[in-house]
Chain A
Amino acid sequence: RKEVEQDPGPFNVPEGATVAFNCTYSNSASQSFFWYRQDCRKEPKLLMSVYSSGNEDGRFTAQLNRASQYISLLIRDSKLSDSATYLCVVNRGGSYIPTFGRGTSLIVHP
């Protein structure tokens, strides 16, 4: 099993839709979790950290399920500008070395 797995997509959704991505991780000792956004030919940018209790930032909600070892990202009211690749990041349990998933591609169309 890969350390961090994501469905590569693409997820093709209309504007205004709600879309959710999951990311599974294999190391139960992992302690920190993040979602990044990467636009084509650009660097990854931090979208949000993921906290145990779940957290929300505007239209974006992140959740952590430690029992099933996955994190999720929910995007409500999708905008054209949300089109990007979404990377989940999990630190290697007990260390500060992050492991990146390969990303999920989102395409929002008019």
Chain B
Amino acid sequence: DVKVTQSSRYLVKRTGEKVFLECVQDMDHENMFWYRQDPGLGLRLIYFSYDVKMKEKGDIPEGYSVSREKKERFSLILESASTNQTSMYLCASSFGGNQPQHFGDGTRLSIL
């Protein structure tokens, strides 16, 4: 079974802090994704990566950056956290072009 592991289930941070969310997958997937999910808005793509050191902006990249130094790990960085970044963050990975994604458990992030 594919395992996608996110570093924290719940996280509380303060406005202005730099926040790191980590995601690791164990299936040698090429593609990795970061989403946020908010009530009524569904899943929105923040960034994705299709290879090591490669990244592409999704639909809502503002205020975020990512890092993919190793194939199995994809990090999401909130450069200066703000209260409107309070959300559920979901990491996903997939094998390639038309393959389905597999999700981590999610991180519920609260910015105070």
Write the residues of chain A forming the contact surface with B, with a CB cutoff of 8 angstroms: 31-32, 34, 41-46, 49, 87, 89, 91, 96-98, 100-103
Contact = CB atoms under 8 A, between A and B. Distances in A.
B75 interface: no
B20 to A, nearest CB: 20
B98 A43 contact: no
A102 B42 contact: yes
Given A96-B50, A96-B96, A98-B101, A43 B42 contact: no
Contacts of B48: 97
Given A45-B103, A96-B31, A91 B42 contact: no
Contacts, number: 45
A34 to B, nearest CB: 5
A98 B103 CA distance: 13
B43 interface: yes
B90 interface: yes
A89 B98 CA distance: 11
Nearest to B42: A102
Interface in B30-45: 31, 40-43, 45
A43 B43 contact: no
7 closest A-B pairs by beta carbon, nearest first, are A32-B98, A102-B42, A43-B103, A100-B43, A96-B97, A46-B100, A43-B106
Interface in B80-112: 88, 90, 94, 96-106
Contact of B42 (A31, A41, A42, A100): A100
B73 to A, nearest CB: 18
Contact of B100 (A34, A41, A97, A102): A34
